[in-house]
Structure 1
Amino acid sequence: MTRHVVAEASDFADREIRRVEAGGKAIALVRVDGAFFALLDRCPHGGAALSGGRLAHQVESSGPGDYRICRRDEMLRCPWHGWEYDLKTGQSWSDPKSTRTRAFAAENVAGDELVKGPYVAETIPVTVEGDYVVVELP
């Protein structure tokens, strides 16, 4: 692993998304509640720069008309098609086979029983050392 200083932590606003370069790779660097997250700055679905996206909440529901926000600003939404990627794991819950308009049978199941989408954004280890944000690339 090679380590690269990519930003000064004190210059980074909370909930800011910034494109940085390290080791010839474009990285979407995000700060949420003081923690830093780094994803490869390319949506694996359509190729958009994720750094141009917005933060989104994860929403849970126990049934129709009931919903609650459970993870504030922990998803990064692609600016092109709105696909969302978990900042911690890069996992998307979108699937191109289910994005068209079509009727399906529906049932109430626990969240851990859902099928994950086929796309996963590449995550990059990130730490803060002193006042510097450091990413680790293979």
Structure 2
Amino acid sequence: MARFVVAKVGEIPRGEQKVVRVKGREILLLNVDDEYAALLNRCPHEGAKLLCGARVGLLESDEPGRFSYTRQGEFLRCPWHGWEFEIRTGQSWCDPKDTRIKNYDVKIEPGESLAKGPYVAESFPVHVEDSYIVIYL
């Protein structure tokens, strides 16, 4: 699986987010209590940009008239229709069986592991076919 360096650890403060582009995809990188999550920046319902959505928590009740607000900032609400998704997994809380946001693995790696060699240029196979040079990507 290909790795893409998208930000420094201190670049996205706790509770904040940033959109990065990787291979033509807009990916929303979020800091949730100093853990990072990455979601496709598009609601699966009708395509709203999730960057514009509110970060919310979970409202729970064990009986009528009593409730608690927990997991503050761990859910993302679509700005168009209010669908809510768990940030760490992309799971929908409106339609959990069939709907989720594409999420990506995020890892923190030390800088020296990204910069050490040997450096290798990307190469492509080249074939000659009836006097034409063909490159395969």
Q: Which residue of 2 aligns with 1:94?
A: 94
Shift of 1:8: 1.2
When normalised by structure 1's length, the TM-score is: 0.75
Give the distance between the partners of 2:47 and 2:69, measured in 1 at CA. Answer: 28
Identify unmatched segments of 5+ residues in structure 1.
96-115, 132-138
Moved over 2 A (4+): none
Q: Which has the higher contact order (CA 8 A, sep 6+)?
A: 1
Q: Tell me which residue corresponds to 1:129.
A: 109
User: Which residue of the partner structure matches residue 38 of structure 1?
Assistant: 38
| 1:47 counterpart residue number | 47
RMSD between aligned alpha carbons?
A: 1.7
Matched to 1:60, the amino acid is E
**1:93-136 C-alpha deviation (Å, 9 max, x unpaired):** 214xxxxxxxxxxxxxxxxxxxx3531111100111136xxxxx
* SS of structure 2 residue aligned to 1:10: helix
* Pairwise CA distance, 1:70: 2.5
Helix, strand or coil at the partner of 1:30: strand
Tell me the residue number matched to 1:106. none
Q: In structure 1, what is the equivalent of residue 72 of structure 2?
A: 72
Determine which structure has the larger strand proportion and give its number.
Answer: 1
Normalised by the size of structure 2, how large is the TM-score?
0.75
Look up the SS of the partner of 2:10 in the other structure.
helix
Instruction: Kindly provide the CA deviation profile for residues 9-49 of structure 1, in whole angstroms up to 9, marking residues without a partner as x.
Output: 11211111211111221101100111000001110011011
Query: Secondary structure in 1 aligned to 2:7?
Result: strand
* Partner Cα separation in structure 1 for residue 45 and residue 9 of structure 2: 30
